[in-house]
């Protein structure tokens, strides 16, 4: 291949072909994931909830705790959580 404007056509082609192979692998993996969800659904699992669980499992502890606190706050603000269900941690006195 030729070089044009300092760009090697052969070198560029190698990168393009690598990305194409990876895109094909990604499509195959996405299909495999769809099949697993279909199997789980046929076994009675709620795939929407499974996706939420997967999202939560990717979070670190602090991120998950913060999100849960904000969710509880929003639900409370909308009147969707009774006051009795909200447990506030005791505040420590700082000197």
**Residue 23 falls within a domain, yes or no?**
yes
**Mean pLDDT, to the nearest integer, of 83-88?**
59
Domain membership of residue 38 (yes or no) is: yes
- Contact 72/86 with Cβ under 8 angstroms? yes
Q: Is residue 17 part of a domain?
A: yes
pLDDT in tens, 32-72: 999 999 999 999 999 999 999 999 999 999 999 999 999 99
Whether the per-residue pLDDT at 7 is higher than 90: the answer is: no
For 56, 60, 89, the CA distances from 65, given in Å and listed in that order, are 10, 9, 13
- Tell me whether residue 24 is in a domain: yes
Query: In terms of residue numbers, what domain contains 34?
Result: 10-45
User: Has residue 66 been placed in a domain?
Assistant: no
Instruction: Count up the domains in the chain and report the number.
Output: 1
Higher pLDDT, 72 or 93: 72
Task: Assess if residue 58 is contained within a domain.
Answer: no
Q: Does the model's pTM come out above 0.75? A: no
User: Would you give the end-to-end CA distance of the chain in angstroms?
Assistant: 73
- Whether 31 maps to a domain, the answer reads yes
Report the pLDDT value the prediction gives residue 6, as an integer from 0 to 100: 76
Is 95 among the domain residues? no
The CA distance from 7 to 17, in Å, is: 16
């Amino acid at each position: 291949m030729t070089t044009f404007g300092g760009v090697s056509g052969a070198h560029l082609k190698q990168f393009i072909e690598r990305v194409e192979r990876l895109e094909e692998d990604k499509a195959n993996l996405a299909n495999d994931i769809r099949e697993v969800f279909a199997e789980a659904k046929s076994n009675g699992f709620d795939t929407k909830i499974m996706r939420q669980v997967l999202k939560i499992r990717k979070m670190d502890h602090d991120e998950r705790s913060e999100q849960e606190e904000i969710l509880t706050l929003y639900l409370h603000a909308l009147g969707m959580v009774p006051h009795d269900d909200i447990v506030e941690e005791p505040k420590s006195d700082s000197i």
